[in-house]
Amino acid sequence: MTPLIRTPKRRLITSALPYANGPIHVGHMAGAYLPADIYVRYLRSSGEDVLWVCGSDEHGAAITLRAKKDGTTPRDIVDKYHVEMQGAFKGLDISFDHYSRTSSEKHHKVAQDFFLKLLENDSFEVKTQEQYYDEEADQFLADRYITGTCPTCNADGAYGDQCEKCGATLSPTELINPKSTLSGAKPILKPTTLWYLPMGRHEEWLKDYIENGMLDGKVHHDAKAWKSHVVGQCKSWIDGGLQSRAMTRDLKWGVPVPVEGADGKVLYVWLDAPVGYITATMEWAEKNGKDWRDWWQNEDTELLHFIGKDNIVFHCIIFPILLKQHGDFILPHHVPANEFMNLEGDKISTSRNWAVWVSEFLENNPSGSDPMRYVLTSIMPEQRDSEFTWNDYRDRINNELADVLGNFVNRVLVLTRKYYDGIVPMAPKESVLTEVDKSLVDVLSGAGERIGDLISRHRYREAQLEAMNVARRGNKYLTEEEPWKIQKTDPQRVKTIMHLACQVVGNLGIVLEPFLPRTAEKISVSFGVNGLRWNDVSPSLVKNGTVLGDLPILFTKIDEETVETEKAKLGQKEVDSNDSNKNTVMLQKDSTTFDHFSEMDLRVATVTECVAVKKTKKLLKLTVNTGLDVRTVVSGIAEHFSPEDVVGRKVVLLANLEPRTIKGVESWGMVLMASTNDGGLKFVTPEDGVNPGDVIR
């Protein structure tokens, strides 16, 4: 039996602080901002007490490195992106109650006080150890910033933590001829003191908190409401044993460690950044004459963190440990993390410019915010990774927003003007309603609750679909009842039809607001329901005799040229004279389990035939011999290889990938490719003597 969860008095919502060293792309939006915006707009419309805070994350080694590379200061970098990111949020109508930044004086003080309280509560282990130091760059080096010769296999270019040639796990001091990747200099060893958070101490209560929603022997939250991928990731971290993690860094840019003799040390960004949520709340409270403690130190408050899956460990494990160690704060009740959104068959990548940048998109498409919100919500990666494509974008705007929603609203307005000078006709008597009318009335009666329930459960895709279904039902009703055919013969019946159709549109002005705020506003104003709220949704929302106001065309269709232009932008790098550092290496992904790995059937195959897939630029259709069978695989490599380059090759195939139809061709697996540093693709070629069907493990 699930124990009772108390209904909170208020909700504090946070969205991941975006990192201030690059602009915001659609993947960010779909991950941590748009879902929170829908949720918060719904709560506000329902009259709930809710506060939503966010801000720029402006510290960390990546920002100092970026500044060094660009020949500027960290301050310049964060000032630039703090402004730019806010522009993107505003453009997409992301309605934070307060947006802060972590480089502010106020935040430094809050984060330092937080650290001191942790220190007082004996939360750290202090260790002094020798670490590599780059004298030219004047800083200590993280493992990945040191390369050298591998002591195991003698390969060059091994990293301080691992040799990628032989796979050996290394520590930086084992490397032969170590070199700093920052300056190329030979680093020296210097002793340094670090404050470690011994996370292993916290495994037991964390397990109960994550798996059962229990804290200090009491029910804390509904553990079953958490997404399975969030719980799964946390469990595998905890089961693998939580290692101590340093909470300070030897860097100049950041929040100084507030301890005597700790000059040149700053707080680890993952201590500093989530405390930024607290700072943002304090700033908001100060501005609005409220008490921030109501939101952070009151058991009647529910705390929700909206993030992408790369931040799960920080919000579900590290931050809860910090909050609990501090002692004065509530812990997160829900972390509805999203997975990742890919783009046109590839991962979104800032360095390769494989991204749709929100500010740039809106600059070229001034009316694009609702359409972009609509598409991102339709494909939100709630339970698994999803994919954005421009063809899909066009189809959804043209077939759904323009043809269904826009068309329906416009027809109702035009007909009401034509028949009744734009005045909503009187409500019909119950007794004259047909079965069809009644079922439409039922749709409206239940709409608020249905859609609201889905939003409350963080199922935004379904919620938006359900809201659009109200428009679909209205559109179908009007099309099938054909009032224009009977206006002459049965004007009384037409009044009923048009009254109900007006009710559908009016209700759309409320239920679409969380998803399409600008469209909903236009509809609400035109149909006289602005200012009304979620609980007002009903079949008698629009008052008899309302005079309908003007309403511009809601959506313009997307043409082929726009789609092609947007696609062509992908991967094209702007010429950046400062960008000389080509040696960017993709960071290691999160840990996976051996079970996940062994589920994959990887085997060698030979390509026997290859042709281009018609009407595509990127796709080749390969026929491969897997030793088991001969099958078809579609591969997005046509921009790098012509069919004759591919025939006869031995390739590595992920053979048990779920089959899927790509551009009308069924694909039964995936050929593995290596992405090279310069943005190219190369085959992963097995040695001689390896044959089709040989299994890779």
| For Zn ion, the closer CB: 104 or 162 | 162
> In 262-300, which ranges are E strands?
265-267
The least CB distance from residue 173 to Zn ion, in Å, is: 15
| For Zn ion, the closer CB: 152 or 540 | 152
CA-based angle 465:471:473, to the nearest 5?
100
The least CB distance from residue 588 to Zn ion, in Å, is: 16
| For Zn ion, the closer CB: 179 or 333 | 179
The least CB distance from residue 48 to Zn ion, in Å, is: 57
CA distance 391 to 37: 26
Angle between helices 105-120 and 269-288 in degrees, nearest 10: 120
Q: Which residues are within 8 A (CB) of 76 and not within 5 positions of it... i.e. 6 or more apart?
A: 67
Tokens found for residue 229: 């991928």
The least CB distance from residue 176 to Zn ion, in Å, is: 11
The least CB distance from residue 85 to Zn ion, in Å, is: 40
| For Zn ion, the closer CB: 171 or 565 | 171
| For Zn ion, the closer CB: 156 or 490 | 156
- Which residues are paired to 609 by β-bridges? 623
CB atoms within 10 A of CB 407: 17
| For Zn ion, the closer CB: 152 or 656 | 152
Which backbone phi and psi does 42 adopt, to 5 degrees?
-65, -45
Which backbone phi and psi does 606 adopt, to 5 degrees?
-115, 135
Q: Are strands 386-388 and 341-343 parallel, antiparallel or unpaired?
A: parallel
Q: What is the DSSP letter of 366?
A: T
The least CB distance from residue 166 to Zn ion, in Å, is: 3
The least CB distance from residue 581 to Zn ion, in Å, is: 24
671: exposed, middle or buried (Cβ count in 10 Å: 0-12, 13-18, 19+): buried
Q: Are strands 602-612 and 650-654 parallel, antiparallel or unpaired?
A: antiparallel
| For Zn ion, the closer CB: 155 or 189 | 155
The least CB distance from residue 44 to Zn ion, in Å, is: 56
The least CB distance from residue 165 to Zn ion, in Å, is: 5
Q: Which residues are within 8 A (CB) of 403 and not within 5 positions of it... i.e. 6 or more apart?
A: none
Positions touching Zn ion (CB under 5 A) are: 150, 152-153, 155, 163, 165-166, 168
| For Zn ion, the closer CB: 163 or 409 | 163
CA distance 470 to 165: 57
| For Zn ion, the closer CB: 116 or 166 | 166
Which backbone phi and psi does 175 adopt, to 5 degrees?
-65, 140
The least CB distance from residue 585 to Zn ion, in Å, is: 16
CA distance 684 to 627: 18
| For Zn ion, the closer CB: 46 or 152 | 152
662: exposed, middle or buried (Cβ count in 10 Å: 0-12, 13-18, 19+): middle
| For Zn ion, the closer CB: 165 or 229 | 165
Nearest in space to 16 (alpha carbons), one of 3, 29, 5: 29
**Cβ pair 278, 114 in contact under 8 A:** yes
The least CB distance from residue 181 to Zn ion, in Å, is: 17
- Which residues are paired to 306 by β-bridges? 15
* SS3 (DSSP) at 162: strand
Centroid of chain to Cα 66 = 23
The least CB distance from residue 144 to Zn ion, in Å, is: 16
Residue with tokens 């421009």: 390
CB atoms within 10 A of CB 664: 9
| For Zn ion, the closer CB: 166 or 674 | 166
Cα-based torsion angle of the residue sequence 429, 431, 435, 440 in order, rounded to the nearest 10 degrees: 20
